[in-house]
Amino acid sequence: MKTDLYTHPDYYSMDDLLSDEHKLIRDTARDWVKKEVSPIIDEHYEKATFPMHILSGLGEIGAFGPYIPEEYGGPGLDQISYGLIMQELERCDSGLRSTASVQSSLVMYPIYKYGSEEQKQKYLPKLATGEMIGCFGLTEPDYGSDPGNMVSNFKDKGDHYLLNGAKMWISNAPFADIAVVWAKNEEGRIHGLIVERGMEGFSTPEMHGKLSLRASATGELIFDNVKIPKENLLPGRSGLGAPLSCLDSARFGIAWGALGAAMDCYDQALRYSKERKQFNVPIGAFQLMQKKLAEMITEITKAQLLTLRLGQLRNEGKATSAQISMAKRNNVEIALNIAREARQMHGGMGITSEYSMMRHMANLESVVTYEGTHDIHLLITGMDVTGIPAFTREMPEKK
């Protein structure tokens, strides 16, 4: 069983900008990850299983809904604390962060922001401890980047709603107790509904054959005339902006998480460059190796500054969706590049499970796609700076 030797890089003394509480929260998450998850993550990745026994531990370190107020069972922390926890989780594995990110930003967040008081009291305390696990149903088989054209729908049947449709690529689906599902009513308006496991016609088949996020459970959500109690409709907001606001929160967490993966790859590459010898000297003595390390730490430092500032803006309620998109896109890109360079520096050893770069690399290929693809986030920035949307084009008429 390998030892987790991670030491986080801090080239610009970023810790000086964090409060003592921030550092305590981060270090608590780091220590827990090193003790409870790092020793077992490779085995679960290889077997494509999620370590279910760690769910309560994630709850204990505040990884589920860190910013949810204490009155609903959450720790009541700020957005930077949330980011730091996600950074430590993905530093270990993207699948670990995905599980916590979905629970926090895509399940607890919409219930807290748009749910009734009864819904908040019923679900949030159990979600905060990990006693209950949730998932988020937005993406459909034919509608990924274009969720507004979703097919899933529900009809008013008097004393209940009748839900039909399907969702795909849903993290946590195979073992989730509830799903926050987005579907259209009879007028075509998108609403959120809480679907509970055990409701007749609701199934969550697991998706197999993944070569990425293997330590995270992914499945489908299938609704075949599922009767939904009317009190399970989220009353606070409707329209596509509701699920997109949840994605803002999740993308914010991804920006921090991907940075954690980049930091882990750099830390291993730096250590290896000092230990591995070729031609009678450590490989870190060669110019090309120093170039790789210098570029890695430069990109990490830039991303740290970008992400911390975004956290400050989010704490103040000033962060825009476009700013979050920029950070998500940038940080995942630099993490992918750093993982690849770190893998090369390790030579053949870099493809083994003794080191985490290859696992990070494969995981990040999912992260660069989900919750807004790399190119979609580029277009979000483009639209923000030009004021001109480039997402859609009218199809030419056939002659």
pLDDT tens across 184-229, in order? 999 999 999 999 999 999 999 999 999 999 999 999 999 999 999 9
- The percentage of the chain sitting over the pLDDT mark of 70, rounded to a whole number, equals 98
What integer is the mean pLDDT of 71-95? Answer: 97
Examine the pLDDT at 397 and tell me if it is beyond 60: no
What integer is the mean pLDDT of 354-376? Answer: 94
Examine the pLDDT at 396 and tell me if it is beyond 90: no
pLDDT category of residue 398 using cuts at 50, 70 and 90: low
What integer is the mean pLDDT of 348-377? Answer: 94
Q: Per mean pLDDT, which range of 47-61, 182-196, 384-398 is the poorest?
A: 384-398
Same fold yes or no, 135-237 and 241-386: no
What integer is the mean pLDDT of 82-111? Answer: 97
Examine the pLDDT at 392 and tell me if it is beyond 70: no
- The percentage of the chain sitting over the pLDDT mark of 90, rounded to a whole number, equals 94
What integer is the mean pLDDT of 117-145? Answer: 95
What is the dotted CATH code of the domain comprising 135-237? 2.40.110.10
Q: Which residues are catalytic?
A: 371
- Assigned architecture for domain 14-133: Orthogonal Bundle (1.10)
| More confident: 391 or 238 | 238
Examine the pLDDT at 394 and tell me if it is beyond 90: no
| Residue 57, number of CB atoms within 10 A of its CB | 16
pLDDT category of residue 61 using cuts at 50, 70 and 90: very high
Give the pLDDT confidence score for residue 168 in this predicted structure. Answer: 96
Examine the pLDDT at 52 and tell me if it is beyond 90: yes
What integer is the mean pLDDT of 130-145? Answer: 93
Give the pLDDT confidence score for residue 391 in this predicted structure. Answer: 77
Per residue, the 3-state secondary structure of 361-373, as one string, reads: HHHHHHHCCCCCC
Give the pLDDT confidence score for residue 2 in this predicted structure. Answer: 80
What integer is the mean pLDDT of 249-258? Answer: 97
Give the pLDDT confidence score for residue 372 in this predicted structure. Answer: 87
Give the pLDDT confidence score for residue 371 in this predicted structure. Answer: 86
Q: Per mean pLDDT, which range of 1-5, 67-71, 244-248, 279-283 is the poorest?
A: 1-5
**What is the amino acid identity at position 62?**
G
Rounded-to-10 torsion of CA 295, 97, 315, 245 = 110
Examine the pLDDT at 390 and tell me if it is beyond 80: yes
What integer is the mean pLDDT of 335-358? Answer: 96
**What is the amino acid identity at position 228?**
I
- Inter-residue contact 185 to 25 (CB < 8 Å): no
Give the pLDDT confidence score for residue 317 in this predicted structure. Answer: 96
Give the pLDDT confidence score for residue 185 in this predicted structure. Answer: 97
Sign of dihedral through CA atoms 55, 196, 192, 218? positive
Give the pLDDT confidence score for residue 215 in this predicted structure. Answer: 97
Cα gap 258→231, rounded to integer Å: 37
- Inter-residue contact 66 to 85 (CB < 8 Å): yes
What pTM value is reported for the model?
0.94
Contacts of residue 275, defined as CB under 8 A and 6 or more positions apart, other chains included, come to: 282
What integer is the mean pLDDT of 55-80? Answer: 97
Sign of dihedral through CA atoms 315, 317, 323, 325? positive
- CATH class (in words) of the domain with range 241-386: mainly alpha
Using the structure block, give the residue that is written with the tokens 């810790």. 15
What integer is the mean pLDDT of 221-238? Answer: 97
Domain boundaries, the chain: 14-133, 135-237, 241-386
